[in-house]
Structure 1
């Protein structure tokens, strides 16, 4: 509501002067909430808590700041178990793209994830897929894997310090980090990039290796957003080199295993004692 008369800019051609104007929402940055700009100091963790409340139905939402200040001491760790069986490995959720920036060798990537030690869950989200189902899959995962695109936004469902692994096609380095990498790090996630080489991009089938499209993406980006989008976002698919990609998977696997180091040590001790 405003005490001023509504201005219909479509019909009113006059020049209007104001000492200050806010048009739309304040912009804090890509996928970030700056507590210093919020009336009550809320941050991105509060937004995550709101998501969990909406999808999981936990108790009344409290500000993450208050939770950090008033949180009770953690309970003592449970006594170690010595069952003679292989433990379930950490779980990685893989998002599928079907139109642009498609992961052409998805099956091989899934197998590589499993060989690295992950339990792989492929999510092929459709327009009718319940968001609550996606939230359940991602929030309980140890890692998320996706080619650069809107699906990477689902990292907001993850619980730090889980890992986000983004496959970055040629020409999208800046967008990948600005839109998803930096926000993921602010959230407390372990962020890992796998940058696609020319040989792994479908653009190598259309352009010579000496073409600026492959050799100098910044030159193409200099022509403007729409040219960059047309070439690198709308016309590019990816076929990763599994041998090269496996090294990145191992880095992510070591990180998520470190989160469960106590259990891993116990399992190792059990096997050593058998």
Structure 2
């Protein structure tokens, strides 16, 4: 009887280990091929994305690259099952100069485009992108920031912030190389993007398209569940990203 009990215990432990390994394998497959969660650590994409938003990124949107895999092993070059992104997509990519760093920005310039900022207005291929005032965005400290609705040539529309006249409001004309993209944050005066250290982003560096805000909390209280009742932004749960 003791021997049978020991065998049953051993078999039960083995089954538990197999179940855990299967769950880990399934999670890796989902993370690699389907969805990956990302948290928003900065305000560079305000008002579209806020600090404390948690977003789901679809990994299949543009095909797969080595950066789609955990630890980014150098197993292959380029992309497989590639699909071109569209102007206006909000996407996650690896910074070209620091490929272990994830960035999230909006795709503004396609290969061959000429992109420039003039007095806070975005120009693509010499034509001003229409923008209309749309009230104010109130920051956490109560400061009101002018908000504008911008509409890209393909009809994609979204809100941007223009806090003040800065160097980022007037740039040289950037010509996007073949196989690369020009990214910008919606918070135009507070974003490190293709106007600065990010530069042009190779197609290979794209990880996926940000689709959905599934969780949002004001501040850095995500792990402090006792703070949730007063800090959760329930109105942002399960909202699509535009």
| TM-score bracket for the superposition, by shorter chain length | under 0.3
Instruction: State the TM-score, normalizing by the size of structure 2.
Output: 0.24
Higher helix share: 1
Larger Rg: 1
Higher strand share: 2
